[in-house]
Amino acid sequence: MKICTIICEYNPLHNGHIRLLKFARQHADTICCVMSGNFVQRGMPAVMDKYSRARHAILAGADIVIELPTVLALSSAENFATGGVNIARAIGSQFMSFGCESANAQQLFQCATLLEDVKVNNLIKKFINEGNSYPKAVAMSLPQFEDILSRPNNTLALEYTKAILKSNSDIQLLVCDRPDNYDSDKLEGIFSSATAIRNNLDNENIRQSLPYFTKVEDINVEVEKQYKRFAALYLSLQPMTEQTEAVSEGLHNRFNKFRNIGNYDKLIESVKTKRYTQTRLQRIIAAHLLGITKDITAVAKATAPYINVIAINSKREDLLTYIAQRQLDYTQQVADERRKLIDIDLKAQLLYSALTNKLPISQLQKVDV
């Protein structure tokens, strides 16, 4: 069995994602999507619940969809990538595929290797101490890779590569060229970004950017507005602590200073600095709401991953037996550590259900293709 893993969010799934799935299928007979659950990496609820998005992944060409634990899905790019790569290794993937705007596998490995160098890391720390965000500091430390580091999908691809190197894995990279317009905020032809799709639901041309099974009316952008109201209220009632994941240098005090402002966007704007990006602040708020602490994140990174299958091609149910057999050697200690992560997943599920006013689906989706 040749397995290729794709780490994804599908928020929502669009034609560009199908293009990548078809590319991966050229190299493997089994495609596994490791997908964020009901909350995505930018610190917001997804525009569709995880089971609907997982079903779309199967219809688009995947064989199986495994949930990336919420603790890691709502974490930094490094932790997000580490979680996905650990699951890929656990299921025996030989390949990992992703899209890049301007980098090939050799360049990614060269850049990732340099990022492990002590001198480079000292430079990164220096630029961070001068008030730059981490992504900016990395780009400043490796100017020869400026083109790679200045593009968001290249940056995430680099984190996947770093995670593979750190784990001493022999997973091979399958890099699919990604057109520049994937990051545009405007609808452009048949390949538009998920951001452009979410922001242009009323545009009559949106249909051409989506596959037949992704219905415009099912994309719920209102859930984000509901979430922001809830988050602002929660923070006004429950002060943030320094134990919250990604809080450093007294950042929780800045949040608490403005926690009674009553408006999520104004809160972010008040706390944001050159050093702390909006996306990072959004993730911190989500972590605060769900009780994701630094200790729990450390457990998520260090513990053998649990495999939560949320959708499968009905013709590939053999994969359930295959994965179950690979899970038999875990100890009780690992099971106890996993429970902490599963509890966060359950909180995320309940919160998402409350925000959308829909009862949660809690069963494996077997999809006929």
Burial track 145-163 (b if 16+ CB lie within 10 A, e otherwise): beebbebebbbbbbbbbbb
H-type alpha helices, the chain: 15-25, 50-60, 70-73, 77-90, 105-114, 118-129, 134-141, 146-149, 152-166, 194-199, 222-237, 251-257, 264-271, 278-290, 294-302, 318-325, 332-356
pLDDT given for residue 329 in this prediction: 58
Paired tokens of 184: 């545009």
Give pLDDT < 70 ranges for the chain: 152, 179-184, 328-334
CA-CA-CA-CA dihedral for 46, 52, 53, 59, to nearest 10? -160
Q: What is the pLDDT of residue 318?
A: 96
Q: What is the pLDDT of residues 177-193, one digit of tens each?
A: 876 545 567 787 788 88
Query: Measuring CA to CA, which residue among 24, 63, 14 is closest to residue 211?
Result: 14
Q: 105 and 182 in contact (C-beta within 8 Å)? A: no
Distances (CA, A) of 355 to 46, 163, 203, 215, 334: 11, 34, 26, 20, 32
> In the sheet where 365-367 sits, what is the strand order?
172-177, 95-100, 3-8, 30-36, 64-68, 309-313, 365-367
Cα separation, 317 vs 128, in Å, equals 48
